[in-house]
Structure 1
């Protein structure tokens, strides 16, 4: 079981790759959307962009590869492909167990780069939607991770000082955001090994 330090008064969880094992499905649906544009969307590239909202990811890929993909059209392909796979999503037990243990003990929230609908569906599929009243998504913020806005908003709504919050994250950008917010971070990769297969 992941131990929570004594000084922590609030728990913040990323969703994809942290509570929900959605990353393989995200990876495959990104590949489906991006490969027609001549980019080899491999696991390393995927990991470097994890945590960015859909359209921001496509804009970044355009900058990196000199492509001219339409963020809305390509994002739609990605979203529709992912939707077909969403019902296969399983929880990541090592983190889900923390959620169950601290439910009603400490305030908890979700801070995700996912859309409001995407987050709602994922939480329903893994049966964890009733644990969270506060879910901050890409629709609720101006500045995505690695900017700390997502997590600062979670702390604010929980009424907890950011320095007394701990963030559970699997993505590099999310971990940067948590540190930037002055929060403690649990790197979920230390407890759960994510595999990406084509």
Structure 2
């Protein structure tokens, strides 16, 4: 497996050897340099509902669905934020920041290189509406064969269900899928699904 942790140039990230039949991409922090924007939105949202969200916990929970994140914060910090309402508020704040969004060039290069050659999918903890807006903003709105969002599975990352759902939709064996991920929860999900992965380092170069 390829666990890349060093800074990388604006070139495709190295991938493990293998004749992969499908590429599966996380979105936030992997294809889109959106994690700083998501954190800004989260900080405002939780403050508006009397909660707290330390930055280290934000990155720890990368890949976890939005509603589940609010539930975890309530449990961990003793807050009482309404999960659905807080999640909706956070997403609206994020949408307002989309003009600031940039793609991560070293990962997007793989999308351009393999488009039309093998099936590709998005596997994200975000809602489909958020995924669609992010993809459009970074110029990848029509590049993927499938999109798996928070509405499409019961158990989110680090459970394997999100990536297994994508493999099933593509009719590709899990072992033949390569996952691109930046978050520990997402990588744990890929491993549990029996898939190889490329770790996208935080701070990868955007364009």
TM over 0.5: yes
Please state which structure has a larger fraction of its residues in helix. 1
Q: Equivalent residue for 1:48? A: 60
Structure 1 residues not aligned, in runs of 5+ = none
Task: Pick which of 91-100 and 59-68 moved more.
Answer: 59-68
Residues 182 and 200 of structure 2 are in contact (CA less than 8 Å); yes or no, is this contact kept in structure 1? yes
Structure-2 change in CA distance of 1:105 and 1:26 (3 Å): same
Residues 51 and 112 of structure 1 are in contact (CA less than 8 Å); yes or no, is this contact kept in structure 2? yes
Moved over 6 A (4+): none
- Residue deviations 1:92-123 (CA, integer Å, cap 9, x gap): 00000010001112211110001011001111
Secondary structure, aligned partner of 1:189: coil
Residues 190 and 196 of structure 2 are in contact (CA less than 8 Å); yes or no, is this contact kept in structure 1? yes
Quote the Cα distance in structure 2 between the aligned partners of 1:16 and 1:111.
Answer: 10
Matched, 1:3 2:10: no
TM-score, normalised to structure 1's length?
A: 0.92
Structure 2 residues not aligned, in runs of 5+ = 1-11
Quote the Cα distance in structure 1 between the aligned partners of 2:48 and 2:140.
Answer: 35
Quote the Cα distance in structure 2 between the aligned partners of 1:6 and 1:62.
Answer: 43
Residues 94 and 191 of structure 1 are in contact (CA less than 8 Å); yes or no, is this contact kept in structure 2? no
Quote the Cα distance in structure 1 between the aligned partners of 2:65 and 2:36.
Answer: 17
CA RMSD, Structure 1 to Structure 2 (Å) = 1.7
Q: Equivalent residue for 1:80? A: 92
Matched, 1:127 2:143: no
Deviation at 1:40, TM superposition (A): 4.1
- Equivalent in 114, 121, 135 of residue 126 of structure 2: 114
Quote the Cα distance in structure 2 between the aligned partners of 1:131 and 1:193.
Answer: 21
Residues 179 and 190 of structure 2 are in contact (CA less than 8 Å); yes or no, is this contact kept in structure 1? yes
Residues 119 and 170 of structure 2 are in contact (CA less than 8 Å); yes or no, is this contact kept in structure 1? yes
Task: Pick which of 24-33 and 158-167 moved more.
Answer: 158-167
Q: Equivalent residue for 1:14? A: 26
Task: Pick which of 148-157 and 1-10 moved more.
Answer: 1-10
Quote the Cα distance in structure 2 between the aligned partners of 1:14 and 1:95.
Answer: 10
Deviation at 1:193, TM superposition (A): 6.8
